[in-house]
Amino acid sequence: MTIDSEFGVEISSEQFSERFLALHKQLFASTEFVFDDVTTHIYTPPKGTYQVDHSFFHDGDQWHLYHITGDLKKSDAYVECMASGDWEGAARNTVEPGIGHAVGNSLFDLRYVELLELQSLGDFDMITRSNGWVFSFEGRYGMLYGVRGRDGYVGFSLMWSTDLKKWTPGDSNPIFGPPSWAKPGATCKDVHIVEHEGVFLLYYITANKNGYCCVALNSTSDWVEFQDHGCVFESAPMLRGTMGIESVSVFPRNHIWHMFFTYGPGLWHAVSPTPMQFVHSRGSSYNVGTGFYCLGPFHATEIIEEASGKWWLTTDRKEETRRLNRQAGRLCYRGSYADEKTLEEGLYLSSVRWDGDQPLLERPRST
């Protein structure tokens, strides 16, 4: 199915302008959230491992958490091997040997059950096979997951299951890598999937030929043919905190689209009337020029809506720890074990209460 520029648009430009102006005024009278004031710890990975980018899937009875995991003490060796092009060494020292899987009746009782160690299918995924996102399709479950391989290849592969236990590789892996408009050697990772009107929207991270970090969009209705919709958001690399855009989360709510992403010192939020573009210039398509703003020092987040209508934000503590390190003048450079080790703490949870289109974070209570 081919979709056009009007796909997903449910309000007029005048209606969106009014709502965005209301949000903009709210932001002028608010500030960033304090990590410890609005979060509680809910999940610890097995000792000696970590949890970072993740996704959730509810099977009708239980929550399933899928997350990147591995041994962070290999970080320094892994980074050195990747930088020097020692692909075999990077595979031996990989910090993403598989996909961590935890389950729980609620988000407050998640328990680790297994490491999904996926078999390498070739040079394209010889280093990592990780960061999976589960979805339902035609009576079975699919998982789109990230891969890294020889010569710096980064992309996505697909596997299928009927019971969320046994997984079978798809027939055409990898199913896609960096788009033609990306710079050579660009990343292609951190997929977020949202199904809307029978179409799966696949948001992921890459970089364009000018070096700008990009949120890219592909779509599919059959998991065979994919349509490239280009870049929906771009920004220059940050020199404090997370250098590129990561961990995108996109969803529609009350007829407008929300995008959350990790970038620089924390979590950012943007809104749009369309899932195809998240910045609009003043006096162009919409009467109010849009932008984005920081919610606070949250990293690798996901935004979850339960069937009851309750909203949650999940995060790790990495950007809060980086903030404290900067405050103390302590150098723990990006990618080093000293920088990454806070991920061994696991996952934190915040309750999301909406005031119009503004998300307000609050410390949750167990339910």
Whether 8 is in a domain gets the answer: no
pLDDT tens profile 221-230: 999 999 999 9
What distances in angstroms separate CA 4 from CA 228, 249, 253, 275, 284, one per listed residue? 11, 21, 20, 11, 19
Residue 1: inside a domain: no
Mean pLDDT of 156-160: 98
pLDDT tens column, 17-30: 899 999 999 999 99
Q: What is the pLDDT of residue 39?
A: 98
For residue 160, tell me if it sits in a domain.
yes
Of the candidates 270, 278, 253, 274, the residue with the CA atom closest to the CA atom of residue 353: 253
Q: What is the pLDDT of residues 246-257, one digit of tens each?
A: 999 999 999 999
Residue 287 has pLDDT above 60, yes or no: no
Q: What is the pLDDT of residue 286?
A: 52
Higher pLDDT, 3 or 315: 315
Residue 270 has pLDDT above 90, yes or no: yes
Average pLDDT over residues 156-174: 97
| Distance from C-alpha of 331 to C-alpha of 269, rounded to nearest angstrom | 28
Quick one: pLDDT band at residue 321, thresholds 50, 70, 90? very high
CA dist., res. 108 & res. 152, Å (int): 38
State the residue range of the domain holding 83: 13-362
CATH code: domain of residue 310: 2.115.10.20
Give residue 285's pLDDT.
Answer: 46
Number of domains forming the structure of the chain: 1
Query: How far lies 164's CA from each of 101, 184, 313, in Å?
Result: 10, 36, 24
Amino acid at 81: C
Query: How many C-beta neighbours within 10 Å does residue 150 have?
Result: 16
Residue 133 lies in a domain: yes
Is residue 291 domain-resident?
yes
Residue-level pLDDT at 281 = 73
Quick check: pTM over 0.85? yes
Tell me if 5 is assigned to some domain: no
Residues 6+ apart with CB under 8 A from 330: none
Q: Does residue 2 belong to any structural domain of this protein? A: no
> In this predicted structure, what is the pLDDT of residue 280?
77
Question: Looking at residue 366, what is its pLDDT?
Answer: 64
Q: Please indicate, yes or no, if residue 367 is contained in any of the structural domains.
A: no
**CA distances for 267 relative to 16, 204, 223, 255, 259, angstroms:** 23, 16, 30, 23, 10
- On average, the pLDDT of the chain sits at 95
